[in-house]
Amino acid sequence: MATPEQQTESGWDRMYVDGEWREASGGDTMPVENPATREPFTEVPAATAADVDAAYEAAAAAQPEWAAKSREERLEYVQAAHDHLQERFEEVVGLLAREGGSAQNKATGEVAISLSDFKTALQQEPPADEERESAFFGESKTHHIVQEPVGVVGIISPWNYPLHLSTRALAPALALGNTVVLKPATDTPITGGLLLAEIADEVGFPDGVVNVVTGRGSEIGDRMAGHPVPRVLSFTGSTSVGKSVASAAGSTVTLPALELGGNAPNVVTEDVDVEQAAKIGAVGSFTHQGQVCISINRHLVHEDVYDEYVELLAEHAESLAVGDPSENPAVDFGPVVNETQRDDLLEFVEQSVDEGATLETGGDADGLFVEPTVLSDATNDMAAACDEHFGPIAPVIPISGDEEAIELANDTEYGLSAAVQCDDVERARSIADRIDAGMVHVNDHPIQDEPNAPFGGMKQSGLGRYNGEWIVDELLETKWISVQHEEREYDLL
């Protein structure tokens, strides 16, 4: 087994399967680039389907012995992984900036919440003790209800919050006795996967318990999702890709745990402190360049405060310090992840202006630095509003009252997150209750994720929930064992 030091010295040109650092079976690699400069800074293996097979086989072979360990033994490994990540906090912040264009506040927050993923796994209530029930039909029989780990968990994580959106599934899966195969996103293979493999190696997890394969989704994504070994497949990404993943997983009767796209409305009523509401709106739209599934995609603002809100939101957009976070930790706003993302964003803006929106600020790009953009005179069916644009674009739509706000908020296929800015909390809660979203935040932005609250969406935004007791439900299986204690008479059915 290669040491972590050897792995680091060689760059990141090995993946981690069955406790070993190994090249891709085909020998190919992929460049990893800093999105701020588009300069490659290392290479990672481009795995093949055979590598995915090897990883799943290793995980399956290791799982019975891992599950047989006591909960306390498993938690010692999870605690050690937490501690190693904590020790490398500043290093990981730098990696998130270099690999994913994360500004300092976002990167720092992501490492912190990833640490909380491990803490939450450590603090989870253990599976319920065996339940015993008397038989409903007949006497002298006892039902024993037990919970067991599902077995192998596959994880496909995205590039926007690569570390956290891997650890939120990995940490509880390991704590509960499952083994893991993780495929990080092509754009962020280090912070989404190889870093965690390195930590697993440093900690000394038994061979095969943690496996990480890096590769292009177009080449190994279907094999990851449709493999017969895993019992649960955790996927975070777009709705269109999520549907394909769910279909592939369903073909092998694998449970798909899906957190998919969003189109979050931010309802702003006429009674608010407009300055505060606009600050909240700016954070909700421009954090991590808007590349967050739960970011504000549409601002639904009451006509009485509309003009002031638009003006203040544009001022916030123009005040952001733009630059390369890996070179200057003081910047607020970095690059988007790649050219495809940039081109799509500029197209959304152009289409919306053609449809009648007014460009208040932004709307252009320098390299991958897309300007923070505010569009006024927007409508719910414009390109930047009806699509999940996944970038720093803030369409502002005027509303006449609460009923129109709710109607527009729900006029989307998505239902992940939402926000309501309203001085009257009772009224705000009434609006929140009627918005079709898995998560709604009153007098705050929707970029929220806490370990003691269920994270997930309605409609086309996914299946299942993450965090705490909610993810536990998806990582354990319930078994019924009945015991007949006395001989009984049997009739043919």
> Three-state secondary structure along the chain?
CCCHHHHHHCCCCCEEECCEEECCCCCCEEEEEECCCCEEEEEEECCCHHHHHHHHHHHHHHHHHHHHCCHHHHHHHHHHHHHHHHHCHHHHHHHHHHHHCCCHHHHHHHHHHHHHHHHHHHHCCCCCCCEEEECCCCCCEEEEEEEEECCEEEEECCCCCCCHHHHHHHHHHHHCCCEEEEECCCCCCHHHHHHHHHHHHHHCCCCCCEEECCCCHHHHHHHHHHCCCCCEEEEECCHHHHHHHHHHHHCCCCEEEEECCCCEEEEECCCCCHHHHHHHHHHHHHHHHHCCCCCEEEEEEECCCHHHHHHHHHHHHHHCCECCCCCCCCCCECCCCCHHHHHHHHHHHHHHHHCCCEEEECCCEECCEECCEEEECCCCCCHHHHCCCCCCEEEEEEECCHHHHHHHHCCCCEECEEEEECCCHHHHHHHHHHCCCCEEEECCCCCCCCCCCCECCEECCEECCECHHHHHHHHEEEEEEEEECCCCCCCCC
Q: Provide CB contacts within 8 A for 19, sequence distance 6+.
A: 1, 58, 201, 205, 206, 207, 208
Determine the residue type at 125.
E
Question: Measured between alpha carbons, how far is 370 from 409 in angstroms, rounded to an integer?
Answer: 26
Given 198, 259, 388, 474, which residue is catalytic?
A: 259
241: left (phi over 0), alpha (psi -120 to 50) or beta: alpha
Known active-site residue 477: no
Determine the residue type at 127.
P
Pairing of strands 476-484, 141-149: antiparallel
Dihedral angle over CA of 163, 169, 175, 180, nearest 10: -90
Burial environment of residue 220 by CB neighbours within 10 A (0 to 12, 13 to 18, 19 or more): buried
Known active-site residue 293: yes
Q: Provide CB contacts within 8 A for 73, sequence distance 6+.
A: none
Given 110, 198, 293, 422, which residue is catalytic?
A: 293
Burial environment of residue 368 by CB neighbours within 10 A (0 to 12, 13 to 18, 19 or more): buried
Catalytic (active-site) positions: 259, 293
